[in-house]
């Protein structure tokens, strides 16, 4: 009886995990190999170097205790997996420039995520502060591999911007370890999601200063919208199909 009570007390004392997987990752889509190569692209050379430096810091944070997950290069232009600043964010993404700081878009084809893009909202004043921009980049890098929002408000993967970010929360670390472990398992067995097809589909997650808009790739033609209230914020989930190839 005493042993049972001790074990129960220990279990109750353990912190609960609050990280989540992105919808496309839940559906079985994943990167086919590590590291994931990404380009930092910006026509402004000064800003390019700033963002590249912040991306390098974010990469080092996430990779602490893990293998190399990303291979980051910096250049003025490029294609493929990219991290970039946008002064036309609203028109490009259809998202609210006043509340959304950045968006991560993942493209899947077959069972794999074949392309990733992080677009930073250049028209949101919060991104002009380097400390905020660093936090946003760390958050979006988490999304690129399949980590969604955490229910811990002080986790970098929370749906709200942390203004005094001091480093990854243990829930962030546990979440990324889970994503990497699951991805490796899928890679090892050549897992194929039952939802995969030869079509290219898009899914994305956006970090907002006051709210979050999450869009996950789905198989429906026009898509559907689901509204839910979480963490005291309105979060929108829109499912849509990108295009056929």
Taking residues 41-45, what's their average pLDDT? Answer: 93
Percent of the chain with pLDDT over 90: 65
Identify the pLDDT of residue 197.
77
Instruction: Using the predicted structure, report yes or no on whether residue 163 has a pLDDT greater than 60.
Output: yes
Strand partners, 228: 235
Give yes or no for residue 228 having a pLDDT over 70: no
Q: How many CB atoms lie within 10 A of CB 211?
A: 17
Q: Could you tell me the two tokens for 208?
A: 């907002």
pLDDT score, position 76: 52
Q: What is the pLDDT of residue 151?
A: 92
What domains sit in the chain, N to C, each tagged with a CATH number?
17-198 (3.40.390.10)
The reported pTM is 0.79
CA–CA separation, 189 vs 132, rounded Å? 39
pLDDT at 69 over 90: yes
Burial of 155 (0-12, 13-18, 19+ CB in 10 A): buried
Q: Is the bond preceding residue 35 a cis peptide, omega within 30 degrees?
A: yes
For the chain, the average pLDDT equals 79
Per the rule left: phi > 0, alpha: psi between -120 and 50, beta: everything else, 9 is alpha
Higher-confidence residue: 71 or 208? Answer: 71
Q: How confident is the model at residue 164 (pLDDT cuts 50, 70, 90)?
A: confident
Has residue 180 got a pLDDT over 70? yes
Asked if 58 and 93 touch (Cβ cutoff 8 Å), the reply is no
What distance in Å separates the CA atoms of residue 113 and residue 125, rounded to the nearest whole number?
31
Place of tokens 């999304």: 143
What pLDDT sits at residue 2?
A: 52
């Amino acid at each position: 009886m005493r042993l049972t009570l001790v074990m129960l007390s220990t279990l109750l004392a353990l912190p609960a995990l609050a990280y989540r997987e992105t919808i496309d990752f839940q559906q079985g889509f994943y990167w086919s190999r590590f590291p994931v190569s990404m380009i930092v692209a910006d026509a402004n050379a000064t800003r390019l170097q700033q963002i590249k430096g912040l991306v390098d810091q974010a990469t080092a944070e996430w990779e602490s205790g893990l293998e190399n997950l990303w291979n980051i290069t910096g250049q003025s232009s490029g294609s493929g997996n990219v991290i970039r600043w946008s002064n036309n964010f609203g028109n490009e993404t259809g998202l609210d420039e006043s509340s959304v700081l950045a968006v991560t878009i993942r493209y899947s084809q077959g069972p794999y995520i074949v392309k990733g893009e992080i677009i930073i909202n250049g028209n949101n004043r919060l991104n002009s502060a380097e400390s905020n921009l660093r936090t946003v980049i760390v958050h979006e890098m988490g999304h690129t591999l399949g980590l969604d929002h955490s229910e811990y408000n002080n986790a970098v993967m929370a749906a709200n911007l942390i203004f005094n970010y001091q480093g990854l929360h243990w829930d962030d670390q546990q979440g990324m370890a889970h994503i990497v472990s699951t991805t490796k398992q899928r890679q090892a067995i050549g897992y194929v999601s039952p939802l995969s097809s030869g079509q290219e589909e898009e899914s994305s997650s956006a970090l907002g200063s006051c709210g979050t808009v999450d869009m996950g790739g789905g198989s429906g033609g026009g898509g559907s919208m689901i509204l839910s209230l979480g963490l005291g914020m309105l979060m929108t989930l829109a499912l849509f199909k990108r295009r056929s190839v």
